[in-house]
Amino acid sequence: MNRIVERFARLNRERQKGFIVYLGAGDPNLEATRQLALALDQLGVDVLELGVPFSDPLADGVVNQLAAQRGLDSGTTPSRLLATVAAIRRDSQIPIVLYVYFNLICRQGVESFIRDAAGAGVDGLLVLDLPPEEGADYEAKMRAAGLCNIYLVAPTTPENRIEMIVKRAAGFIYYVSREGVTGMQSQVADTITPMIAKIRAHTTLPIAVGFGISTPEQARLVAQNAEAVVVGSAIVNQVALHGKAPDLIERVSGFTRPLLRAVKQL
C-alpha cells in the first residue's frame, strides 16, 4: 500500500490527526535535507513535503521563494533530490510528497519523472500549477506507478469544481486555507470550517489544511476540523535563520515539537 494512504488509515484507526511538514529541498544543502527528514520522522511527523527548487515558484511567498533560491544555489536538481530521497529511504519510511511545478516534470518527461520518483521512494506529487482538467494523462501514469496525485482546493473554488477535483485526487486533499501565496500569518482564516464541510460533502479522502499556519495555537485550532495540518513557512524560516549553525537539526526539531504536540493532543 502507498505510504500516504497507509499513514492516514493508521491515523484514522488511532483517532489521531496528521501533522505534515514542508521543507525546501536542498536548503541549505541536500545532506541537511536528509538529516532533517530523519529527525522529523523520529519526532513523529506523519508526512514530509519536499519543495523541488524552481526559479519561478508562483504559489510561494517570500520565505519559501528564498528557500527555493538557496536550494538552487546549493546545486539541488530533481535528480539529486531523488538520490537524497533514496538515501532517506535507507533509514526511514516516512511518507514523502514532492511539491513541484509542472515545468520541471515536463523538462524530464512526465512518464520518466514519475517512474524515477517512484523508484526513489516518493509517495505522491503535489503539482502546483497543473489544473485537474488537464491532468488525465498525468493521473493515469501516477496510478500505474502507485503514487498519489494530490490536488489543491482554494477558498475561492466553487462547489461544482470542488466535486470534480476531489474525485480525481488521491492520498489527501490539500486545502489552501487562504487566498494568496504561502507565508506565516498572525491568525487563521475564519472560512476554514465551512470550506472543510463543503469538501467533505464530496469525498472521503483526508483533508489537510495548509498555507499560513505558524503557531501551536493555530495548528490546534485547525486540527479540530481537518484530518491533518500542514506547516511550511514557519519551519522553513527556522532553516533560514539557523542554516549555517552546527545545531540546525536540533533547532528545527525544537521548533517543530510544540506544533506537532498541539495537533496530536486534542
Q: Which of 27, 41, 49, 123 is catalytic?
A: 49
Q: Is 150 helix (H, G, I), strand (E, B) or coil?
A: strand
Q: Which of 41, 46, 60, 227 is catalytic?
A: 60
Give me the residue label for grid cell 530521497: 85
Does 60 participate in catalysis according to the annotation? yes
Does 250 participate in catalysis according to the annotation? no
Positions annotated as catalytic residues are: 49, 60
